[in-house]
Amino acid sequence: MKLRLLLLSAFLLIAQASLAHGGSDPARVARDVARIKALLPAGQELAGAYGAMGEALAGAAYGQAVASSYLFADFNQDGRPDLAVAVEAPPAKDPDGNLIAGARALRVFLADASGRLQPFTQGANVLLKADEGGLQGDPFQGLARTRSGALTVAHAGGSRDRWALTQTFQFRKDGFYLIGQTTTTWDATNPDRGTVVDCNLLTGACLTTRTRAGKQVVTRKKQPVKPLVALADARAEVD
C-alpha cells in the first residue's frame, strides 16, 4: 500500500508541476516559450517538442508536451525569478533509417540585478533521451520545485519492471549541486511489490522501503558524506 501511495504522490507532483508551469493555460505557455526560445542557441528546443516518430509538434500538442520542461523560480533566493529549462536537439536517423533521439541538457539561467536572465550552468547528462524510457516511451517526467526551493528532475520508464528516478538540485553558494536522489523500482503486474531508496546526500542518510506481498521492511542506513556533485557533472543513471 505504501508503494502505491508513493507512486501516486510522484504522479501528483508531476501534475502539480505542469499546472505551475501554466499547463492549464495555453496562452501563458506560449508566452513563456517565446521568452525561453530567445535565450536558447539555434537548434535547441524545449524537451518534448518532438513526437514519437520524430515529427515537430505544433499548436496545442506542442504546448502540452513542453509545459513541464521549464520552470521559473527563485532558485538562489535573491528575490528575482530564475529559469531552469530542459532542452533537446532535433532527432536524427542512422544509416538504416532508424530514429535516434536528440541529446538533452538541463540549462539554468539566473536573473541579474535588472531581472534579465543570464546563462549560469548546464547539466549535459542529467536528462535521459526520449528513446531511453523503454516500452513506457519518453522517460522525462518534468521539472518541479520543492518547498525549500530546490529543483527536482523526474524520470520514469521500463516495461514490466518499472523504475522511477528523481534527482534534487540546490543552489549552494556558487552553483547547483545534487543534494538528494530517490529511486523506485516495482513490478507492473504487482504494484505491491517494489523498492524505494531515498538518499539525502547532504547528511548521508538513506531510507530503503521494501514492499513484498503487502508487507514493508524499512531500513535506515548512514552513508559517508561525500563532496557534492555539481549539476555540470551529475548524471541520470538507471540500473
Q: What is the pLDDT of residue 214?
A: 78
What does the DSSP assignment read for the chain?
Answer: -HHHHHHHHHHHHHHHHHHHTTTT-HHHHHHHHHHHHTTSPTT-EETT-B-TTSPBP-HHHHHHHHTTSEEEE-TT-SSS-EEEEEEEPPPEE-TT--EEPPPEEEEEEEE-TTS-EEEEEEESSSS--TT-SGGG---EEEEEE-TTS-EEEEEEEESSEEEEEEEEEEEETTEEEEEEEEEEEEETTEEEEEEEEEEETTTTEEEEEEEETTEEEEEEEEPPP-PPEEGGG------
CA 206 to chain centre: 21
What is the torsional sign of CA 114, 116, 119, 120? positive
Compute the mean pLDDT over every residue in the chain, rounded to the nearest whole number: 90
pLDDT higher for 69 or 19? 69
pLDDT at 89 > cutoff 70? yes
Q: Which of 64, 80, 76 is nearest to 19 (CA)?
A: 64
Q: Which of 8, 140, 158 is nearest to 70 (CA)?
A: 140
C-alpha–C-alpha distance, residues 62 and 189, integer Å: 32
Residue with cell 521568452: 35
Q: Model confidence at 3, in pLDDT bands (50, 70, 90)?
A: very low
Residue with cell 513484498: 212
Q: What is the pLDDT of residue 208?
A: 97
pLDDT at 16 > cutoff 90? no
Cβ count near 157 (within 10 Å): 21
Q: What is the pLDDT of residue 191?
A: 73
Tens of pLDDT, residues 192-229: 889 999 999 999 999 999 998 778 999 999 999 999 99
End-to-end CA distance of the chain: 24
Tens of pLDDT, residues 141-153: 999 999 999 999 9
Mean pLDDT of 20-28: 70
Instruction: Name 163's bridge partners.
Output: 157, 185
Mean pLDDT of 91-104: 93
Q: What is the pLDDT of residue 72?
A: 97
Instruction: Name 106's bridge partners.
Output: 86, 123
Tens of pLDDT, residues 25-69: 899 999 999 999 999 998 899 999 999 899 999 999 999 999 999
Cβ count near 143 (within 10 Å): 25
Q: What is the pLDDT of residue 24?
A: 63
